[in-house]
Structure 1
Amino acid sequence: MSNASLKDFPVVVPFPVHWSEMDAFGHVNNARTFTWFESARIAYMARIGLVGPSGAGADTTMADGVGPILANTHADYLRPVVFPVNLVAGARVTRVGNSSITFEHAVAGADDGVLYTRGGSIIVTLRYATHEKVPVPPALRAAIEKLEGRTAGDQA
């Protein structure tokens, strides 16, 4: 398995492309990309303790009813994904703001490292009871810094 194109991503999730993911145009439907991004992002958030292993809100380990909510996501499609292929999806944090965490995502071929899609997302730390943004807790910043191997405010 060659993950050279995702070498700077601390979290990489492997998965196969299934025949059922193909659309009428003979390639994987573009909406599937966001599921791959989500899988890598949830795995990342589980590694830093933002969600439990299942990714479920009930598993949230942050105090005071504070948890993550997706505020933005986007993708740049570089080439079509066609069956059969095994892929890897990577996630890394490129910026931690006052109340937001910016992720970079990438999807590549597991065997050849060919990059299919790049994108990103922004997660906001939210107090669910009041729907207000709250600062990213210091413990969460520290967990990101440890996983990324750099200061959370630094650009990747």
Structure 2
Amino acid sequence: MKDRLRLNEFVHVIEIETRWADLDALGHVNNTRFFTFDESARLDYFGELMRSDSEFWKSRGLILAHIECDFLAQLHHPSRLRVGLRISRLGRSSMNTLAGMFVGEHLIAVTRGVVVWFDYTRQKAQPIPENVRAMIRARERVAPEESV
């Protein structure tokens, strides 16, 4: 799947300019930065929810349970990275994210994550609300797999 990802599969795309501080001793963007790039795209994806729900991040919201990355090419500075993020699976209380990181049309890295809809007050997972599911379904170009 990772070699076949194309930027046009993603409705949600953000641009990130690399910074000098992103480099490691070898002169390329350090692998840890790709998790930050994913985080930026993920938070931006759910920005609409954050703005419309006054309790988001206070009593309920998302919590990251897992993240992984396939590094496909080195990223050098300066670069303009385009990060596309989509929800690839909706479960009962969790969802899988998929992000493709591109320079031009060239795929540099792929991250996959699992986020859980979480009740911060009770400190436990809860079912993804229907309005959140509807927002995701309406937004995605590639329909997420659904399981309950």
* Fold-level similarity (TM above 0.5): yes
- Whole-Å separation in 2 of the counterparts to 1:134 and 1:68: 10
- Whole-Å separation in 2 of the counterparts to 1:6 and 1:150: 12
Please state if 1:27 is matched with 2:15.
no
Match of 2:79 among 82, 85, 101: 85
Q: How high is the sequence identity, in percent, across the aligned residues?
A: 29
For structure 2, which runs of at least 5 residues remain unmatched after alignment?
Answer: none
Alignment-derived partner of residue 97 in structure 1? 91
The TM-score normalised by the length of structure 1 is 0.83
Deviation for aligned residue 1:6:
1.2
- Whole-Å separation in 2 of the counterparts to 1:115 and 1:149: 19
Which letter maps to 2:107?
A: L
Aligned residue runs from structure 1 range 19-58, under 5 A? 19-47=20-48, 49=49, 51-52=50-51
Could you give the per-residue CA deviations for residues 64-86 of structure 1, whole angstroms, max 9, x where no partner exists?
92211011111000011011211
RMSD: 2.4
- Whole-Å separation in 2 of the counterparts to 1:70 and 1:134: 14
The TM-score normalised by the length of structure 2 is 0.87
Match of 1:74 among 63, 68, 82: 68
- Whole-Å separation in 1 of the counterparts to 2:17 and 2:109: 15
Could you give the per-residue CA deviations for residues 108-145 of structure 1, whole angstroms, max 9, x where no partner exists?
00xx3111100111110111011111000011100100
Which letter maps to 1:13?
A: I
What is the DSSP-based 3-state SS (H/G/I as helix, E as strand, rest coil) of the residue aligned with 1:28? Answer: coil
What is the DSSP-based 3-state SS (H/G/I as helix, E as strand, rest coil) of the residue aligned with 1:7? Answer: helix
